[in-house]
Structure 1
């Protein structure tokens, strides 16, 4: 199988910094998972979000639970082919707040028309992703407007409700570690959330049986836009 980012980037994948290319070179036939650990120097959740919504989506592992600084974290990257035959990369993040651990899970899928990122255990949200490579070899992910996948009335995620994500990851040559910066913005509220910091990563042997249950969403969603 082709790794999800090589599938999406094509020949541009080879312009990634070699360490970033190594990070995202695994696929469902590799027999490895990628295990990362580091520090989020800043985690932010806007106070403009209604507390019930924040509680709801944090509980479903679709949002960090609170603003903080210098938060230790781990994240695991697990590859598999889903029931629809799509190459998939599950990202399981664990924020080690002093009040206890909280999770933020997402699933990147090489879809029929491009890269798709599903957030939360439901999943709760969908982001169509446009990946690119910066001049310095960083991986840049920019999303189209967020799509809501939850139950209940379908609120159009446009205009005042638009939420778009930007994620950038690169290699810090001076400190021999990765840096990452994720931001979600709304045209009215401004920044809804961010988490940014540094981490190191290692490969770990991982068969299909070793992949954690939470790497699979509760519901298989074939919607990609």
Structure 2
């Protein structure tokens, strides 16, 4: 199989910084997972949305739980082919808040029309993803408007109610580590959330049996838009 980002980026994948390309070169046939550890220097969720909104989706591992600073985290990448034959990259994040760990899980799928990212255990949220490579060799992910999948609070998804994701990951040559910055914005409220910081990563042997249960959503969803 071909790694999900290489499938979409094609020859542009080779313009990634070599360390970023290494990060995203595993697939379901690689026999490895990748484990990252680092610090989110800033985690932010807006106060413009009611607390029950954040409680609901944080409990379902679809959004960060709360704002904080200097939050240690781990992140695992696991690859497999799902029951629909789609190459998948599961990203399992654990925010180590002082009040206890909270998770943010997503599943990136190479779908029929491109990349789709499902967030949460349900899954709860869907983002269509458009990847690209910056001049500095960073991986840039930009989304279309978020779609709601779960049973939680629902509002319209267009115009003033839309929420779009931007994620950028690159290599910090001076400090010999990766940097990442994820932001979700709304055209009216502005920034809804962000988490940004740095990490290092290693490969580790991983068979299908070793992949954590959390890498599979509770429900197989074939909706991609």
Scaled by the length of structure 2, what TM-score is found?
A: 0.98
Structure 2 residue aligned with 1:204: 204
C-alpha contact (below 8 Å) 2:79/2:89 kept by paired residues: yes
Structure 1 residue aligned with 2:175: 175
Structure 1 residue aligned with 2:142: 142
Shift in Å at residue 155 of structure 1?
A: 3.6
Task: Answer yes or no: is 1:98 the counterpart of 2:68.
Answer: no
Can you list the C-alpha shifts for 1:171-201, whole angstroms capped at 9, x where unaligned?
A: 0000000000000000111100000000000
Shift in Å at residue 153 of structure 1?
A: 8.0
Structure 1 residue aligned with 2:186: 186
Task: Answer yes or no: is 1:67 the counterpart of 2:67.
Answer: yes
Structure 1 residue aligned with 2:165: 165
Moved more, 68-77 or 147-156: 147-156
SS state at 1:220 partner: coil
Structure 2 residue aligned with 1:114: 114
Can you list the C-alpha shifts for 1:82-119, whole angstroms capped at 9, x where unaligned?
A: 00000000000000000100000000000000000000
Gaps of 5+ in 1: none
SS state at 1:101 partner: strand
C-alpha contact (below 8 Å) 2:105/2:119 kept by paired residues: yes
Structure 2 residue aligned with 1:57: 57
> What is the aligned-residue RMSD (CA, Å)?
1.0
Distance in structure 1 (CA, Å) of the matches to 2:28 and 2:95? 26
C-alpha contact (below 8 Å) 2:53/2:153 kept by paired residues: no
Scaled by the length of structure 1, what TM-score is found?
A: 0.98
Distance in structure 2 (CA, Å) of the matches to 1:11 and 1:43? 34
SS state at 2:19 partner: helix
Task: Answer yes or no: is 1:22 the counterpart of 2:22.
Answer: yes
Distance in structure 1 (CA, Å) of the matches to 2:153 and 2:192? 22
Number of residues paired by the alignment? 225
Structure 1 residue aligned with 2:42: 42
Gaps of 5+ in 2: none
Runs of 4+ in 1 over 2 A off after TM superposition: 151-156
Can you list the C-alpha shifts for 1:49-104, whole angstroms capped at 9, x where unaligned?
A: 11111100000001111000000000000000000000000000000000100000
Structure 1 residue aligned with 2:78: 78
Moved more, 106-115 or 154-163: 154-163
Shift in Å at residue 8 of structure 1?
A: 1.1
